[in-house]
Structure 1
Amino acid sequence: MPVNLILLYVSDFIDPHRVRIHDRRFQHMRSVHQAQVGERFRVGVLNGMTGEGEVVAISERQVELNVRLNQAPPKPLPLQLIMALPRPKMLKRTLETVATLGVKDLWLINSYRVDKSYWSTPILRPEKAREHLLLGLEQAGDTRLPRIHLRKRFKPFVEDELPALARNTRALVAHPYDAQPCPAPTSEPTTLAIGPEGGFIAYEVEKLREAGLEAIHLGPRILRVETAVPVLLSRLFPLEL
């Protein structure tokens, strides 16, 4: 059975146990997996259960599957991830990565080193961001769609919202200087802030500390944001999550 998940939507169901697919997912099943009648695929309903789908009919335009949904999706990470908005090309990869790794709340915030033009990228439109999140879910075999929160003003977010978000969590900011080593993995609720390329400036780090976040580092190497995200999450949480 192919390893990636075929995500299903309520609109796909033609009866309670049968779906009809005719979009990108169908093209992927036909061209990549060369789906045949009788073949079985991992499937899951968006924000719902996962299970198995058996191909019962296929044509040039669509495929029909009988589905059995009897498994829960993977557990989400107990994490609120706060990131300075990456440049658009990196944002695409970042959205897919965080969805794959089980992040369910992503806060994209402004920072001194975030170019103003980044906020006008089409990738931030809900439908575009959703496309990349769905690709990450399919890769991971997950169904729970992450929530994205946009905050274009750094100071109001850090002063007015972040203290409440960070309260009663392991609250951390990734910063390569004047910081403690990355703590041991744990499943406790965590709030993690990651800066832009070049890092948060000193003023921003101080404001994050005032909001209750402790600065941590990953060692002497300076990592790109797209590398730092999976490395940090793999260090902060146990593998069984």
Structure 2
Amino acid sequence: MSTSDSNDTDRLEQYIHDKKGHLHSCESMIALANWLYTNEYFETNDRNVPTSDLKETPGNRLEYGVDTVLDHLEEINVVDEVSRVGGQFILHERTGQAFFDPDNREMLPLLDEEISRFLEDLHQQESQALESEDIGKDEPQSVADGGESEDADQDDTNGTEADNGVDSADVPTTFRAVAAASLDVKIPLEDALTDPTDHIERIVRFDDVVTAIIESDDVSRGRAYEPMGWRNAANKWVLTMTAKARKENESLS
């Protein structure tokens, strides 16, 4: 391995000075490049760091924003942005497991498990709702005991709908209705999630359904399951091989 004549000069820092020394953010560029080197985020060892981590760790010690510094370093081939599969992957949120290959069959048992948990929750909540209705029918409350007459309920309902201009029948409030409203299909919810032979279609449908349940103010989950679907990969960065060679005073040839 050949080296430069002097080991006292940091060739990477000198290179950044030569290319970007006219910018006020030059020292921040050097600091970030040195941090990447110290923590061994290299192209050669398959280690990379997300932009979010850079903003939290070295970023709070830089005088200039991490995004600006990275842009300048990328322009002079000191850092490189790592991308995978168009920047998207399938995430199983309950375990945090990511699948960058959409044809990876290892995700199928995880998908089946999540759908099973959701359907069990759906059926259990519907069963509990029916039991509550039966109890309510068996124990009517009289007006004298504090209940309200049917006429009063009708008047209040009509007044509310007139004031809001919204038909309450159009707003999904049951667990099944909220879930079904997220899908543009005319088949039972169970079939919509289990029938498609394309696992990606099932993933997208399940993701939409669970997201709708989580975001709803009217219903909530009764079991542990999480969304599973396409997510955007965070930008990740490495120090280039050329920058590493300069830092170690190695020959670039």
TM range (shorter): under 0.3
Higher strand share: 1
Give the TM-score normalised by structure 2: 0.20
Higher relative contact order (CA 8 A, sep 6+): 2
Higher helix share: 2
Which structure has the larger Rg over C-alpha atoms?
Answer: 2
